[in-house]
Amino acid sequence: MKEPTIVNIQKYSVHDGDGIRTTVFFKGCLLNCWWCHNPESQKYTPELMFTKEKCTGCGYCEKACTHDAITVESDGIAHTDPSKCVLCADCLDYCVQNNREIVGKTYSIKELMKIINKDAHFYEESGGGVTLSGGEVMTQDMEYLEELCKALKEKDYNIAIDTCGYAPKENYERLLPYVDTFLYDIKTLDDEVHQKYMGKSNDLILRNLEFLADNNANINIRIPVVEPVNSDEETMMDIIKYLKERIGIVKVNLLPYHNTGSSKYEKLGREYPAKDLKVPSKEHMEKLKVLFEEHGFKQVKIGG
């Protein structure tokens, strides 16, 4: 059993399922959505995040690095060579601005359950529980996840899984008996658009969603609304028709795009691919909500 890398454990979450929840963000995803607001969760391994605007060029991190990976260059900023950096974390303690961070660490199931159990009374009082998210939880080590789900069920915790759907079908088969709700993303039914903005075909995603529906899973559809990727009514009507014909009248969350995670890309040394995408207006989001309601969807919410 391999312990997956976890990028964050968020307590008192109210946006990842019903009630007050603890959300565990696993690191690693096979999609590459342009607007991903958690880019630090895309790769499966730990990464260094660095805020260059805070760097004073003091050189302490350069002296602390025993792998010659850090150099203070002529711009007065400490640059890290990723080919030499082994993420030993020696430099973190010597950064006087505290602007160097390694994101991602492993937890045993025992360690993770110890953290989750601390908030058990909140789950019980609010009708909440635990949400496994990402990255993409369904592409992690399945032996670990199944044992984790068993441990959660032994405590009678409600389990939600937040998934993009791009994972092997057998993984959904394996966890289906334990999961109370699947928070399932749909971006667009247009495969060409999906491949452009997400990097993969949506065929596997739709087949997995249909498998869950055919096996009576509790499904909450979540639709990130991004202008101009999928914000038009024609795209939403395609999704509405598909859901009614194949999945059913399920709970729907319309999630307006935001760029609050864009600064993380620079900290990771990456370009932000969604800089030309736009946030849909509140008025337009309301129109889309009404559109779903007019076609029989009774539980439609804007936001998480």
Confidence band for 188, pLDDT divided at 50, 70 and 90: very high
- pTM, two decimals, is 0.94
Cα–Cα distance between 46 and 104 in angstroms, integer? 5
Q: Give the pLDDT confidence score for residue 70 in this predicted structure.
A: 95
User: Of the segments 88-97, 255-264, 282-291, which one has the largest average pLDDT value?
Assistant: 282-291
**Looking at the domain that runs over 47-103, which CATH code has it been given?**
3.30.70.20
Q: For residue range 12-50, what is the model confidence (pLDDT) as tens digits? A: 999 899 999 999 999 999 999 999 999 999 999 999 999
Mean pLDDT score of the chain, rounded to an integer? 96
Confidence band for 304, pLDDT divided at 50, 70 and 90: confident
Q: For residue range 142-170, what is the model confidence (pLDDT) as tens digits? A: 999 999 999 999 999 999 999 999 999 99
Residues spanned by CATH 3.20.20.70 within the chain? 5-44+105-302
Q: Give the pLDDT confidence score for residue 234 in this predicted structure.
A: 97
Q: For residue range 251-261, what is the model confidence (pLDDT) as tens digits? A: 999 999 998 88
For residue 280, the 8-state DSSP code is P
Mean predicted confidence (pLDDT) in 118-142: 96
**Are the C-beta atoms of 166 and 204 separated by less than 8 Å?**
yes
Mean predicted confidence (pLDDT) in 71-75: 94
Query: Which class is 5-44+105-302 in CATH?
Result: alpha beta
Q: For residue range 210-256, what is the model confidence (pLDDT) as tens digits? A: 999 999 999 999 999 999 999 999 999 999 999 999 999 999 999 99
The Cβ of residue 205 has, within 10 Å, a number of other Cβ atoms equal to 23
The Cβ of residue 143 has, within 10 Å, a number of other Cβ atoms equal to 11
For residue 140, the 8-state DSSP code is S
Residues spanned by CATH 3.30.70.20 within the chain? 47-103
Residue 175 host element (H or E): helix 169-175
The Cβ of residue 107 has, within 10 Å, a number of other Cβ atoms equal to 18
